[in-house]
Amino acid sequence: MLIIAGLGNPGAKYAGNRHNIGFMAVDAIHRRHSFSPWSKKFRGEIAEGELGGEKVLLIKPQTYMNLSGEAISEAMRFYKLQPADLVAIYDELDLSPGKARLKTGGGHGGHNGIRSLDAHCGKEYRRLRLGIGHPGTKEMVQNHVLGDFAKADRDWLEPLLETLADNAEMLVRNEDSQLMNKIALALGGKAEEEKPRKEGKDREKKPAGQSHIRQARSSNQPKLPATGPMAEMLKKMFGNKGE
């Protein structure tokens, strides 16, 4: 079983906040796939369903952002799940609007919701960070994250949430890099090159470099005597290369 947790603050007052993009993401997944109606449990709103043939629990903690881990840890204990069975979706100031990053483990980066998850759920869970951009100065951060998305933000917000919902099964299949590429392409960006391809290019370059070294060594190699005492001594040391 997989828990997909969206982080945010409960209530109509916060519904359109940038800080609530995690709630928006799980709402989009809920709309797109066959999940049960939202119900109240584990101090949160939950919905059960399937993605890619695996049971999935969507959860939106209703404890307010700073105590998100308390609600999610209750669900994890009830279903006897480990951190690897959790995906947390939340806002990221240090990513440009519309950018997404997905990785396992890491630090909380000053995000109080993630700080709470780390404390109550362990750290080795998957973290899907959705960029909301930085306002520019530290003093403006609180108003930025607790401010509503602007109308202009719909140009990237809707494609981001729709693409995530359309491809939510990739979260179940651990196809993290493929999902990130889907989102990047949907937002008009370029798919990131996979590491194996990059390593392949490096491997192609190495033989050429070694070849040049060998050529330099062979061209600078001094001529060895073919006869005489020195030639006999070299034969004893290295053998006769002609044999």
Quick check: 75 and 60 in contact, CB under 8 A?
no
- Which residue among 19, 30, 111, 144 is the active-site one? 19
Quick check: 46 and 37 in contact, CB under 8 A?
no
User: Residue 37 has which token pair?
Assistant: 């109606």
The span from the CA of 236 to the CA of 216, in Å, is 27
What number of H helices and E strands is found in the chain? 9, 7
Active site residue 19: yes
The span from the CA of 7 to the CA of 65, in Å, is 7
Site of tokens 């001594």: 233
DSSP β-bridge partners for residue 51:
54
Q: Residues with catalytic annotation?
A: 19
